[in-house]
């Protein structure tokens, strides 16, 4: 039998290695930015075109490379970071395996310009598909400029798997933010298609976080710091009331390297226990400095997953430090079990003289007359207005609660202002009732229906929103005082993709630039107080959905808004609202399923009920 095992050519081996290292343009951005940091740069500029598909260029003012180093840097396993196996357990740099540049050059066209401080001229190197096309002297500044053009030009199948420009751009912003947050002492800039998205001067950690996440982030941050024998923890957490439903502001850095750790994330979430809304995720920017010998970072090609020598101790320290910070800055409520709040005296009352209580007796009171003839409003007010000066003064400094209204008034106001349905579409008189403030029970075509009111309204709104996006724009209710909202660059990028669709469903914007939005109009039946949570949920849904085209993008938008705008379980509906909801449901194209394919109702035929009674 002849020999069948053979060595792969270098260009094939490099392409295989590139499959692990270079997954998308964001992978190229990560590797090049980290190389610039390792080169000792104080200013790093990132230039991107077409979400990295046409160009990814990183320019730094670091040490630069000699002519020989520039050539060797693109060979496999060529690195200046380690010299022996022992160095793998004492790493202080980002890249160290010498695979990144070789992998990038295998699947793209690369142009390098580099120069050391002592050299008179620099070196220009051109590589295509691992093949060196030219290497010539050139005039350039100290440092290195690497331009990666036409990514995956020689592997069309891999290029076809790339997502839309908006999605790839989102991944690039994520990688840029991680490197920029890890190194606030280095200046960074980011330009995409000739538009400057970030200009971050060298500064401190807090200012870097604010520069990336927005100016209003500063008031949300609570500092965290803990020093022990084997770990130094510092950074910031966001106050519980600013927790979001998205996973966009959770950052762990170990020795200035971004990592992902569900174990440490659980420690942070445990520290916030009891302080967060349901399904909310706390924001944090935490920096851990540990001995490099106690961690192993060489367990994943992207080096975002690491192993700690003593994970349990780090978990306990992290949880304890965050709890301490929440208490130190009075974020958590103070508990005093020995104090009775009933004996608290208002600041405005503690110096006032004490007046003796008086007792008034109505000698003409007749209980039999009150049962048969109720008092008028005027009589009631007259009888209760006597001698009230003594007790009314106790509440002089207390503002009335909006919820402390008369029950009848609340009922009328609820019907007038919060009626989500109109009586115009009632086409059939139904007999129905509400069960547990969640289900509607009615008869339909000789069957008994039990309808989930939230799911039913979600289906109705979904079809209305899709009609507004594709056919007729929905009306907008104008706000007397426009809402000013600020987003992180990543979140603003997501909302910018669906801005036109948001306008069609009823949103109005006075301003939309520089990560800020001024909302002047909102869809009908939406409360102004719900807008922030609604947009946060929309961002989360868009991140999870990753739409491939405009239809999928609109579909995700309509599903997210419909789910948030729909009436919730626990909402009491009057008879008119119940009937109108049922009628609108059965005018939908698909009344049996929600947009996410859940059952809206179950039905019982007469025979089913009779069999149950046997």
Domain containing residue 75: CATH number = 3.30.565.10
Structure confidence at residue 43 (pLDDT) = 95
Same domain, 283 and 135: no
Confidence of residue 97 (pLDDT cuts 50, 70, 90): low
pLDDT of 88 over the 80 cut: no
Q: Which two tokens stand for residue 29?
A: 């951005």
Q: Using CA atoms, how far apart are residues 357 and 487, in angstroms rounded to an integer?
A: 57
Same domain, 286 and 175: no
Domain containing residue 234: CATH number = 3.30.230.10
pLDDT tens digits, 174-208: 999 999 999 999 999 999 998 888 999 999 999 99
Q: Using CA atoms, how far apart are residues 328 and 319, in angstroms rounded to an integer?
A: 14
CB 283 within 8 A of CB 241: no
Pick the more confident residue, 87 or 602. Answer: 602
- The arithmetic mean of pLDDT across residues 250-263, rounded, is 90
Same domain, 151 and 288: no
Same domain, 233 and 322: yes
Among 121-125, 312-316, 532-536, the minimum mean pLDDT is found in 532-536
Final residue belonging to a domain, choices 283, 300, 328: 328
For the CA atoms of 386, 391, 395, 400, what is the dihedral angle to 10 degrees? Answer: -40
Among 195-209, 237-251, 293-307, 561-575, the minimum mean pLDDT is found in 293-307
Residue 407 lies in a domain: no
Q: How many domains does the chain have?
A: 3
> Which position has the token pair 């594709």?
470
- The arithmetic mean of pLDDT across residues 322-331, rounded, is 83
Residue 341 lies in a domain: no
Other Cβ atoms within 10 Å of 570 Cβ, number: 10
pTM of the entire structure? 0.72
Same domain, 110 and 162: yes
pLDDT of 248 over the 80 cut: no
Q: Using CA atoms, how far apart are residues 251 and 496, in angstroms rounded to an integer?
A: 24
DSSP letters spanning 211-235 = HHH-GGGGGGEEEEEEE-SSEEEEE
Residue 364 lies in a domain: no
Structure confidence at residue 176 (pLDDT) = 95
Counted residue by residue, the chain has a size of 614
- Residue-number span of the structural domain to which 34 is assigned: 10-200
Residue 322 lies in a domain: yes
Confidence of residue 455 (pLDDT cuts 50, 70, 90): very high
Same domain, 542 and 485: yes
Same domain, 595 and 468: yes
Domain containing residue 592: CATH number = 3.30.1370.100
Same domain, 484 and 519: yes
pLDDT of 344 over the 60 cut: no
Pick the more confident residue, 412 or 440. Answer: 440
Structure confidence at residue 123 (pLDDT) = 94
Final residue belonging to a domain, choices 200, 235, 264: 200
- The arithmetic mean of pLDDT across residues 482-495, rounded, is 86
Name the average pLDDT for the chain: 81
Residue 158 lies in a domain: yes
Residue 163 lies in a domain: yes
- The arithmetic mean of pLDDT across residues 498-519, rounded, is 90
pLDDT of 343 over the 90 cut: no
DSSP letters spanning 220-273 = GEEEEEEE-SSEEEEEEEE-GGG-BSSSSSEEEEETTEEE--HHHHHHHHHHTT
Residue 521 lies in a domain: yes
Confidence of residue 386 (pLDDT cuts 50, 70, 90): very low
Percentage of the chain lying above the pLDDT 70 cut: 79
Final residue belonging to a domain, choices 280, 305, 328: 328
Same domain, 229 and 194: no
Confidence of residue 349 (pLDDT cuts 50, 70, 90): low
Same domain, 176 and 250: no
Same domain, 192 and 229: no
Structure confidence at residue 143 (pLDDT) = 94
Residue 377 lies in a domain: no
pLDDT tens digits, 274-292: 888 877 889 999 999 988 8
- The arithmetic mean of pLDDT across residues 358-366, rounded, is 76
Same domain, 190 and 46: yes
Q: 385: left (phi > 0), else alpha (psi -120 to 50), else beta?
A: alpha
pLDDT of 267 over the 90 cut: yes
Structure confidence at residue 426 (pLDDT) = 42
Structure confidence at residue 401 (pLDDT) = 47
């Amino acid at each position: 039998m002849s020999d069948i095992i053979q060595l792969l050519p270098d260009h094939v081996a490099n392409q295989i290695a590139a499959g692990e290292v270079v997954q998308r343009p964001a992978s190229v951005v990560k590797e090049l930015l980290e190389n610039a940091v390792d080169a000792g740069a104080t200013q790093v500029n990132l230039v991107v075109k077409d979400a990295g598909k046409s160009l990814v260029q990183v320019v730094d003012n670091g040490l630069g490379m000699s002519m020989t180093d520039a050539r060797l840097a693109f060979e496999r396993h060529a690195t200046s970071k380690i010299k022996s196996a022992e160095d793998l357990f004492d790493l202080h740099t980002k890249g160290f395996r010498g695979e990144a540049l070789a992998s990038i050059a295998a699947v793209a066209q690369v142009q390098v310009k580099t120069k050391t401080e002592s050299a008179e001229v620099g070196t220009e190197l051109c590589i295509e598909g691992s093949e060196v096309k030219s290497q010539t002297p050139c005039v350039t500044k100290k440092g290195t400029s690497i331009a990666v053009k036409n990514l995956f030009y020689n592997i069309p199948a891999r290029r076809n798997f790339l997502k839309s420009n908006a999605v790839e751009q989102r991944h690039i912003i994520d990688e840029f933010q991680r490197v920029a947050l890890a190194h606030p002492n280095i200046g960074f800039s980011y330009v995409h298609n000739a538009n400057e998205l970030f200009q971050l001067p060298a500064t401190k950690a807090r200012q870097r976080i604010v520069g990336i996440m927005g100016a209003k982030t500063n008031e949300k941050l609570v500092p965290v710091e803990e020093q022990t024998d084997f770990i130094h923890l510092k950074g910031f957490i966001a106050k519980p009331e600013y927790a979001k439903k998205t996973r966009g502001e959770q950052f762990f850095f170990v020795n200035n390297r971004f990592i992902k750790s569900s174990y440490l994330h659980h420690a942070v979430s445990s520290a916030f226990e009891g302080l967060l809304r349901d399904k909310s995720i706390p924001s944090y920017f935490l920096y851990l400095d540990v001995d490099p010998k106690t961690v192993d970072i060489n367990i994943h090609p992207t080096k975002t997953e690491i192993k700690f020598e003593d994970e349990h101790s780090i978990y306990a320290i992290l949880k304890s430090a965050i709890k301490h910070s929440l208490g130190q800055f009075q974020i958590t409520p103070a508990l005093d079990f020995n104090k009775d709040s009933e004996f608290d005296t208002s600041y405005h009352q503690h110096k006032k003289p004490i007046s003796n209580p008086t007792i008034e007796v109505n000698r003409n009171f007749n209980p039999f007359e009150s049962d048969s003839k109720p008092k008028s409003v005027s009589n009631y007010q007259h009888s209760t207005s006597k001698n009230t000066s003594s007790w009314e003064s106790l509440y002089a400094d207390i503002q009335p609660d909006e919820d402390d209204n008369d029950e009848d008034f609340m009922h009328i106001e609820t019907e007038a202002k919060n009626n989500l349905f109109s009586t115009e579409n009632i086409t059939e008189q139904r007999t129905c009732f509400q069960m547990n403030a969640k289900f509607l029970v009615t008869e339909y075509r000789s069957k008994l229906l039990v309808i989930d009111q939230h799911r039913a309204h979600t289906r109705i709104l979904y079809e209305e929103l899709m009609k507004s996006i594709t056919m007729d724009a929905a009306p907008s209710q104008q706000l007397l005082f426009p809402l000013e909202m600020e987003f992180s660059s990543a979140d603003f990028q997501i909302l910018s993709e669906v801005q036109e669709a948001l306008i069609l469903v009823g949103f109005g914007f006075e301003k939309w630039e520089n990560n800020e939005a001024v909302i002047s109009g909102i869809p009908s039946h939406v409360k102004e107080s719900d807008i922030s949570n609604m947009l946060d949920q929309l961002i989360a849904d868009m991140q999870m959905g990753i739409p491939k085209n405009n239809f999928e993008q609109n579909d995700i938008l309509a599903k997210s808004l419909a789910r948030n705008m729909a009436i919730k379980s626990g909402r009491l509906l009057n008879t008119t609202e119940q009937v109108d909801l049922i009628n609108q449901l059965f005018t939908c194209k698909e009344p049996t399923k929600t947009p996410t394919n859940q059952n809206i109702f179950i039905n019982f035929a007469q025979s089913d009920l009779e069999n149950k009674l046997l």
